[in-house]
Amino acid sequence: MPPDIRLQKYIAQCGISSRRKAEELILTGKVKVNGQTINKLGSRIDPEKDKISVNGKLLQKDTKKIYIKLYKPKDYISSCKKYPGEKNIFDLIKDVPYRLYPVGRLDKDSEGLMLLTNDGELANRLMHPKYQHEKEYEVVIEKYLPVKDIKKLETGIILDGKKTLPVKISIIGSKKINMILKEGKKRQIRRMLESIGNNVLQLKRTRIKKIKLDNLTPGTWEFINNPNLQ
Q: What is the pLDDT of residue 131?
A: 81
Q: How many angstroms from the chain centroid is the CA of residue 54? A: 22
Residue pLDDT, tens place only, 164-173: 999 999 999 9
% of the chain exceeding 70 in pLDDT: 95
Residue pLDDT, tens place only, 64-105: 788 999 999 999 999 888 889 999 999 998 777 677 889 988
Using 50, 70 and 90 to split pLDDT, how confident is the model at 136? Answer: very high
% of the chain exceeding 90 in pLDDT: 65
Using 50, 70 and 90 to split pLDDT, how confident is the model at 2? Answer: very low
Report the CATH number of the 134-208 domain.
3.30.70.1560
Where are the chain's structural domains? 5-58, 67-128+211-223, 134-208
Residue pLDDT, tens place only, 166-223: 999 999 999 999 999 999 889 999 999 999 999 999 999 999 999 999 999 999 999 9
Q: What is the pLDDT of residue 230?
A: 44
Residue pLDDT, tens place only, 115-133: 999 887 788 888 777 888 8
Q: What is the pLDDT of residue 62?
A: 58
- What is the pTM (predicted TM-score) of this model? 0.74
Q: How many angstroms from the chain centroid is the CA of residue 210? A: 15
Burial of 104 from C-beta contacts in 10 A (0-12 / 13-18 / 19+): middle
Using 50, 70 and 90 to split pLDDT, how confident is the model at 228? Answer: low
Burial of 151 from C-beta contacts in 10 A (0-12 / 13-18 / 19+): exposed
CATH top-level class of 67-128+211-223: alpha beta
Domains 67-128+211-223 and 134-208 fall in the same CATH topology: yes
Taking residues 24-39, what's their average pLDDT? 94
Domain 5-58 falls in which CATH fold? 3.10.290
Separation in Å, CA 133 to CA 25, 50, 120 = 26, 35, 17
Active-site residues, by number, are 107
Q: What is the pLDDT of residue 81?
A: 83
Judged by DSSP in three states, 28 sits in: coil
